[in-house]
Structure 1
Amino acid sequence: MAKRYLLIGAGILIVIILLWWAGVRETLDLILTANPKFLLLAIIMYCISVLTWALRWATFLKSAKVSVSFLRVIEGVFIGIFLNNLTPGARTGGEAVKVLFIKKSSQNGSYSKVFATVMADRILDVIPVIAFMVLAFLYALTLHVKVLLIILGISALILTLIVLITTLLSVKEKYALSFLLKLFRLFKRIFPSKLTYTEETIREKLLKEFREFKATLIVLAKEKRRLASTLLYSFVLWLADIMKTYFVFLSLGSEVNLFQVLLVRMASMAVAMISVIPGGIGISEAVQSGLFLAIGIEKTVAVSVTMLDRLISFWTPTLIGGALAFKNKDVFSST
């Protein structure tokens, strides 16, 4: 726990240094003069991305015949965001909590069924990312900026590895069991007084439920019409995310094209996936600002856009998710 706080402190220090480098007064003055109309549009875009994420997951839950209200699904998304933003690297802590939350909130959900929907949700997220990454790569070629191509290549490589690992975990019992036990240990550290199962007991339960998980995943894959709708949700989600940043630029009176925003959003994905600092605090701000500089954005504008963007899509949902986790703490009181 102390190490986590030290890392978060280091991340906040990086943010302070970044603001100092860009000019604290200049950055704050620019942010305070943001056009409220475009800022509201940016917030709406983020809300649309969260709503479509919840709709996509709710569709998978319905296919798996897990009965749960849509409001609880939205709460689960925000609680997952909160826990993911406290987890470094690939940020899987929130996924475990989402599974537990929906299982406890549903009338007939099992851990294996809900976990299958979470895995399917993650896998399907990859398709639009690959499509947008290809577009970003083609645009980067026209700019002749090597650093952008290198960072995009790293993002693509990490994404490919995540897809391969996710697929492996979905079909191989040995590896899946090891992964789930790690999630169990992580969750037990977060809520030590709430989780009473021993590791041996949970191992036996996981072995029994793994077959149901695989069967559920197969059912989800065969639902062609629902897969089509969830794929549409995925594209809307990522497009709304890109538009959010675009509207943040417009709110600050800066002209930028969508391909520039797309390029930076796709390239900066690698940071979120490999950062050792929870939520990529500091690192994400520095890298995203640096990428905007690489495509010709003035430094004060680059830092101001990044700070506003992170306020909308990181700090605010983290606070909302934390409040919802506290509000629903009774859901995690029994297992």
Structure 2
Amino acid sequence: MKQLYVLIVSFILLILLVLWLGPSNILHALETANPWLILLAAFIHLVVIGVRSLRWGFIIGQPTEFKKNYVVKTIGLFAGNFSPARSAGEVLNAVAGKKINRISLSEGLSAGLTERFFDVGIAGCLMLISSLFLPKVRVITIIGGLVSLGMVLLIYIFNWRENASIWLYERIHPLISKLPIREEVLNNMYVKFTGGLKNMIEYTRSFSNFKNLTLVFLLSGASWLLECVRLLVVFYAFNTEISFTAIVVIFLIANLIGIITALPGGIGSIEISLTGLFVLFGVSGALSGSIALVDRLVSFWLVTALGIIFASYYAKDILEDIKGYTLDIKGSK
């Protein structure tokens, strides 16, 4: 039941945010928004998933299977949305890849960690660079950048260095067990990261040449850029202007906070972080909250809806796997 408690905390945070901003103020701000630009933001996010699908297909050697790759990535993102710190995203991505792409679980895990390596690495570098231009959030961006690069180092060890990864994971596992994750999930994680580590790292090394990694880097950068463009379009929908540099920094910091808080998908923590950062950059409170809620609607909740549809239609048993890996809504005995 502890997973359900965490989800309840997330929704309580959302409710408190709405009450603090004032429901009537939020509704007034929403009434002034341009619905066509909000739809454009939703479309941009679908394109973001498409870019990530191209990256996934390239890594697993199936670049022409775009439809399958799109379904797999959506299911993986959906699973990550409802697991602490999005911890189940890579695992369920690999499970979906095994059933839809017909790849091995170790290959799917390797591809997922490779994607996370570049995503987090780019985020860390962008935050450190932005600290030079935005003094009001300099301390936060420096800390966030260093934390991100630390995560990159851990992913490198797990995905490229076999002996070091097993040694390190055996010491990290007791800490992970303290997170609100089901015991079955923890045991499964331990088996997959130790027993299947050799095959996973072998695949990663076979893929890791300059040409391949350069393309993965470019696709990763494109997905980050489009996510920030989506948020900028939401700002325009509310007839509000903000610098693109500020958008990049705000987006990165909010997502990092969402991971650190270990709430499922950052529900509550990301919305509050976005609102607070928007206010810091001069946007009014109610308007900031409205922008944050709408951006999460066209990103987080859109992916969630698509993930449920795809998991139910293309592979019904994947939906059961997602329940086992993420939130135990029914509880455990």
TM-score (norm 2): 0.83
Quote the Cα distance in structure 2 between the aligned partners of 1:227 and 1:15: 39
Pairing 1:154–2:143 present = yes
Corresponding residue for residue 205 of structure 2? 218
Are residues 106 and 206 of structure 1, via their aligned partners in 2, closer, same or farther at CA, if it must alter by over 3 Å?
farther
Distance (Å, rounded) in 1 between the aligned partners of 2:33 and 2:148: 34
Q: For 1:180 and 1:79, locate their aligned partners in 2 and report how far apart those are by CA, in whole Å.
A: 25
Out of 92, 110, 133, which is 1:97 matched to? Answer: 92
Aligned positions of 1:224-263 closer than 5 A: 224-263=210-249
List per-residue Cα deviations over 1:159-186 (Å, max 9, x = no partner).
1221121122221342477589989xx7
Instruction: For 1:50-69, list aligned pairs within 5 A.
Output: 50-62=49-61, 69=65
1:286-317 CA distance string (max 9 Å, x none): 11111111111111111111010111111121
**Equivalent residue in structure 1 for 2:162, among 164, 172, 186:** 172
1: CA distance, partners of 2:54 / 2:258? 24
Residues in 1 aligned to 2:319 and 2:22: alpha-carbon distance in whole angstroms: 45
Query: Cα gap change, 1:187/1:230 in structure 2, threshold over 3 Å: closer, same or farther?
Result: farther
131 and 41 in structure 1: CA distance in 2 versus 1, 3 angstrom threshold? farther
Q: Matches of 2:320 and 2:301 in 1, distance apart?
A: 27
Tell me the residue number matched to 2:74.
78
1:204-253: CA deviation from partner (whole Å, max 9, x where unpaired): 9964x43332221112111x333222222111101111111111011011
- Name which of 304, 313, 318 aligns with 1:318: 304
> What is the TM-score of this pair, normalised by structure 1?
0.83
- CA pair 153-131 structure 1, distance change in 2 beyond 3 A: closer
Give the letter for the 1:52 counterpart. Answer: V
Residue 19 of structure 2 is matched in structure 1 by 20
The CA deviation string for residues 13-61 of structure 1, in whole angstroms up to 9 with x for no partner, is 2222212222211211211331123222212221121111111111101
Q: What amino acid is aligned across from residue 147 of structure 2 in structure 1?
A: I
Instruction: Give the letter for the 1:88 counterpart.
Output: P
The answer for the alignment partner of 1:308 in structure 2 is 294
Q: 2:117 aligned with 1:123, yes or no?
A: yes
Q: Which segment is superposed worse, 114-123 or 294-303?
A: 114-123
Larger mean Cα displacement after TM superposition, 71-80 or 122-131: 122-131
Q: From the superposition, tell whether residues 288 and 254 of structure 1 become closer, same or farther in structure 2 (CA, over 3 Å).
A: same
Structure 1 residues 128 and 205 mapped into 2: Cα distance closer, same or farther (>3 Å)?
A: closer
Q: What is the CA-CA distance between 1:98 and the residue it aligns to? A: 1.2
Supply the distance in 2 between the matched residues of 1:205 and 1:240 (Cα, whole angstroms). Answer: 32
Partner SS, residue 256 of structure 1: coil
- Structure whose CA Rg is larger: 1
Listed one character per residue, the Cα deviations across residues 45-87 of structure 1 (whole Å, up to 9, x for unaligned) are 211211111111111011xxx6983222211111111211111
Could you list the runs of 5+ residues in structure 2 that have no partner in the other structure?
Answer: 322-333
**Percent identical across equivalent pairs?**
23
Structure 2 residue matching 1:123: 3-state secondary structure: helix
- Map of 1:193 onto structure 2: none
Equivalent position of 1:47 in the other structure = 46
Any conservation in 1 of the 2:121–2:149 contact (CA below 8 Å)? no
